[in-house]
Structure 1
Amino acid sequence: MNINATLVNLYHICKREMWLHAHAIRMEHTSDIVYEGKLIGEESYPQRAEKNQEVAVSYELPAANGLGVVRVLTAKIDFFDAKKGIVHETKKSNAKEKAHTAQVQFYLYLLRKNGVAVSHGLIEYPKLRLTERVTLDEVEEKQMELWVHEIGELLAKEHCPPRLPVSKCRSCSYFDFCWIGEE
């Protein structure tokens, strides 16, 4: 089972969207919001795209009891400053979210599991003109392992988790999929 940074992010936003995404039901291509986020990431720091390449990292997490399915954790980090040990993540959001922090902590976790010296992460919010520092201490690392376990359990279920209230779904790329004919 493959658990990636997108799933860690979605776990904190909507477990239904996470499950759908993991099961190859994708709606992002229909979303102007997703497209806008991609453009902001590319256009806010154009000098990075010229100098730096995406970093792919993975780690095989053994099953808790030594038996069963091994979870493969993967991520593609847009920008990692290896000299300073800093992960950079750009978000289009007008608000800081726990999901953003969890995603960057996942990057830090994977890099450390692979023996890479990493100091911290920075989440850059160009629309807010704000940068948030993200760290990963021992307690947060244990929390990350719990999240990964819970994500694995949710993804292994045969049925999709329930919808969130419609008020939380309006800007989601899966809105029509989940709410068609329900309003």
Structure 2
Amino acid sequence: MEHTSDIVAEGKLIGETSYPQRADKNQELEVSAEVFTDKGFVTCTAKIDFFDAIRGVVYETKKSAAKELAHVAQVQFYLYLLRKNNITANYGQIEYPKLRQTERVELSEEGEAKIEKSILQTTEIISLESCPPTLPKSKCSKCSYFDFCWSTEE
């Protein structure tokens, strides 16, 4: 679903035009890992826009003019998946071109445990008979999955 999102495409364009040299030095990387939960193994997959394999750095560019905890969680998840695949992942860097700021992101053992807890919670939601209640539309309007969640809305 994300691959057809105009929001994702716009973000990718901002990343490519804000840091044009990055695409020459780094690579896009799709990474998956099997994570064991009390419900069995779950495959987690992510596509990282820019990964510097030599330095072990994940770069994430955000079009937003505001920093959000979800941005940090996303980069920590990328670091987690890379480490699960025995790929050196030292830290992440979130870049906010509109703010002209960067934020370094680390992943501790405590952070890894939090990610694993989130994966378990996600598998529990997926296994529900019906979808959980939707969030207020104002929280969802810029999400690449907006049309999916609100498809039955009149």
Query: Could you tell me the TM-score, scaled by structure 1's length?
Result: 0.72
1:172 Cα deviation after fit: 4.4
How far does residue 28 in structure 1 lie from its aligned partner after superposition?
7.4
Question: Any runs of at least 4 consecutive aligned residues in structure 1 with deviations exceeding 6 A, and if so which?
Answer: none
Amino acid at match of 1:155: I
Residue 106 of structure 2 corresponds to which residue in structure 1?
135
SS at match of 1:108: helix
Q: Choose between structure 1 and 2: higher strand proportion.
A: 2
Letter in 2 for 1:83: I
1: CA distance, partners of 2:142 / 2:117: 28
Distance change (3 Å), C-alpha of 1:49 and 1:120: same
- Cα displacement (A) at 1:45: 1.5
Q: 96, 101, 105: which one pairs with 2:72?
A: 101
Hey, what does 1:19 align to over in structure 2?
A: none
Post-superposition offset of 1:27: 7.9
Structure 2 unaligned residues grouped into runs of 5+:
none
Tell me which residue corresponds to 2:11: 37
**Conserved? CA contact 1:41–1:91, under 8 Å:** yes
Which range moved further: 33-42 or 128-137?
33-42
Give distance in 2, aligned partners of 1:77 and 1:171: 20
> Does the 8 A contact of 2:62 with 2:97 survive in 1?
yes
Q: CA RMSD in A?
A: 2.4
**Aligned residue in 2 for 1:23:** none
Q: Structure 1 residues 159, 91: closer, same or farther in 2, change over 3 A?
A: same
Question: Structure 2 vs 1, CA of residues 30 and 141 (structure 1 numbering), >3 Å: closer, same or farther?
Answer: closer
Between Structure 1 and Structure 2, how many residues are aligned? Answer: 152
Match among 116, 129, 154 for residue 158 of structure 1: 129
Long gaps (5+) in structure 1: 1-25
Alignment of 1:11-160 (within 5 A): 26=1, 29=4, 31=6, 33-64=7-38, 68-160=39-131
Percent same amino acid among aligned pairs?
A: 55
* Deviation per residue, 1:51-110 (Å, 9 max, x gap): 33212222111233xxx5410122222212222221111111111111111110011111
Preserved CA contact (<8 Å) 1:56 1:74: yes
1:80 and 1:86 in contact (8 A); partners too: yes
TM-score, structure 2 normalization: 0.84
| Whole-angstrom distance in 2 between the partners of 1:71 and 1:123 | 27
Which secondary structure state, in structure 1, belongs to the residue aligned with residue 150 of structure 2? Answer: helix
Q: Whose relative contact order is higher, 1 or 2, with alpha carbons under 8 Å and at least 6 apart? A: 1
Distance 2:142 2:29 in 1: 29
